[in-house]
Chain A
Amino acid sequence: MTPNLIATGINIAVMLGFMLTVVPVMVWVERRGSALIQDRPGPNRLGPFGLIQPLADALKFMFKEDVTPNAVDKPLYLLAPALAIMPAMLTISVIPFGPDFVLNGVAYPLMITSAPAGVLLFLALGSLGVYSLVLAGYASNNKFSLMGAIRASAQMISYELALTMAVLAVVIPVGSFHLGDIVEYQRAHVWTFIPQILGFGVFLIASFAETNRLPFDLPEAESELVAGFHTEYSAMRFASFFMGEYMSMTSLSALGVTLYFGGWSLPGVHLDGLLGAIVGLLVLVAKIGVCMAVFVWVRWSFPRFRYDQLMRLGWKVLMPIAIVNLIAVSAMTLAGWL
């Protein structure tokens, strides 16, 4: 066991633990949050404030009958729920959650993959998320599911472009695709959302569309498509789509706070060693928590878009704004203002 291997193992354990904790917590936040917004109590019977409710939900999903309809395309039908979780789990690996941990003069980065092309790796792996929706919709052999799948593929490709352009604008002044460098740059300067508020707006809207959350949950759209791409799924397979959704929300939030809000850092706080690592992790989790609260808040406050409105917004509004932002940031970087 080399120290590097042990460090990577610890990093994986921390991030895996975090990602697996997020799901039940988010189920509770979503249910109680929606209740708060709709002025009703919500699940409050099981445990204090209904905190045990997610456990009951999970047990219910596990013990329900897992129905596989006869007419489905079986290999793809079984593959799709697994693909829903995989991209989110992979993308979190490039997010740094603390300053480099120095032990015996060797610096261990507090991230699973310290890849130089971290941002691109995130975008590349994140772009695989659409396959779970598309395959689920196709393999279910159900016209509602297929409609959801077609919507998902068009929607996610459209918004991915705007998202990528907004992210690239963050990378330009830093001059590095490594997310650790981006955090260090923000510690030395200001948090990116101040100079790039336009790009942050595009990123925010596009990330709602990327994670299929209201107001952009057209692939599900329960009022028109029953449940969209996961109509034919039941029990734990159905639940894994939910887990995938919450996990991709988490990893996209992690990317967002790392790019625009300084990641694990706080202005004026310079801690090192174990304390720095713990504080960094807590700060990152707190920032992600704020983002998740915004996700829930927006979901229960906005009505759903119509499909053509969604495409128009993506191509005719967000794309031009993202391009203008990209050019403006490039020009400002060249002029030395950033």
Chain B
Amino acid sequence: MEIAIFAIFALLALGSSLVVVMHRNPVYSTMSLVVTLFSVAVLFVILGSPFIGALQVLIYTGAILVLFLFVIMLLNVTKEENTASTQKGQLGVAVLGAVIFGGLVLALFWSSHVPLDQMAPLSEELVSMKGLARVLFTEYLLPFEIVGLLLLVAVIGATVAARRPVLPDATSGLMPSDLVRTSPEEEPLP
């Protein structure tokens, strides 16, 4: 049963991620990415961590990919414009990238190879919400805080970048701050 579910969703993840890179229409690519991330979330659930699976769906498919769609629609990229341009040497570079990635994966397996019967199963402590929180707020507290700071900087940067330049208006009695009206599209989104 578990193997069957794993096989279905692993194949679905691989197939849909192929569609993401191959499809000409960016909207279809985005929707395939939704399927990919959803399948990976199911794999997380099979591995015993519904928490990470739910977070994956909540954050990636529920928010970030909607923003992707939002941007694609605002820019109105249609399939006629053909965003997937083929350039010279693209195939060679792609093969090279695949070889390097495959090599990395193999090296990883090689260096950390443990016989299958000596592997410990994923324990509840590793994947549960409590276990994750404990590790996150003790062992990895500093990286966690730094990531938080980084995100804060990104939010401030996005807000500054989205603001219209403030023009001092001498003729009217308005304060410059009155002239800055952010329209809805320019609101900082997560």
Contacts and interface: CB of A to CB of B under 8 A. Distances in A.
Interface in B28-74: 28, 31, 34, 41, 50-51, 54-58, 61-63, 66-67, 69-70, 73-74
A5 to B, nearest CB: 12
B190 interface: yes
A246 interface: no
Given A134-B73, A315-B188, 7 more contacts: A121-B50, A124-B58, A138-B69, A149-B73, A307-B184, A308-B183, A311-B184
A51 interface: no
Contacts of A116: 50-51, 129
Given A138-B27, A150-B73, A157 B67 contact: yes
Contact of A125 (B57, B73, B189): B57
Nearest to A120: B54
A130 B57 CA distance: 13
Contact of A115 (B50, B62, B190): B50
A148 to B, nearest CB: 11
The secondary structure that dominates the A interface is helix
Contact of A153 (B57, B58, B66, B129): B66
Interface in A131-166: 131, 134-135, 137-138, 146, 149-150, 153-154, 156-158, 160-161, 164
Contacts of A161: 190
Contacts of B28: 76
10 contacts: A120-B51, A124-B41, A124-B54, A124-B56, A130-B66, A138-B69, A153-B73, A156-B66, A157-B63, A157-B67
Contact of B189 (A135, A150, A154): A154
Given A76-B27, A120-B54, A134 B183 contact: no
Contacts of B74: 150
Contacts of B41: 124
B190 A127 contact: no
A164 B55 CA distance: 12
Nearest to B67: A157
A127 B63 CA distance: 8
Given A117-B50, A124-B57, A150-B74, A315 B187 contact: yes
A316 to B, nearest CB: 9
A102 B51 CA distance: 28
Contacts of A158: 187, 189
A150 B70 contact: yes
B179 to A, nearest CB: 15
B130 to A, nearest CB: 10
A210 B120 CA distance: 43
Contacts of B51: 116-117, 120, 177
Contacts of B67: 153, 157
Interface of A: 73, 76, 115-117, 120-121, 123-125, 127-128, 130-131, 134-135, 137-138, 146, 149-150, 153-154, 156-158, 160-161, 164, 177, 307-308, 310-311, 315
Nearest to A316: B187
Contacts of B55: 120, 124
Contact of B34 (A73, A131, A310): A131
Contacts of B27: 73, 76, 138
Contact of A128 (B57, B129, B187, B189): B57
Interface in B119-140: 129
A164 to B, nearest CB: 8
Q: Sorted from nearest, which 3 A-B pairs have the closest CB atoms?
A: A127-B62, A124-B57, A120-B54
B73 A146 contact: yes
A135 B183 CA distance: 24
B39 to A, nearest CB: 14
B27 to A, nearest CB: 6
B6 to A, nearest CB: 19
Given A146-B73, A158-B189, A308-B183, A131 B66 contact: yes
A104 B28 CA distance: 51
Contacts of B69: 131, 134, 138, 153
Nearest to A122: B54
Interface in B14-35: 27-28, 31, 34
Contacts of B57: 124-125, 127-128
B58 A154 contact: no
Contact of A124 (B31, B62, B189, B190): B62
Nearest to A307: B184
A117 B66 CA distance: 23
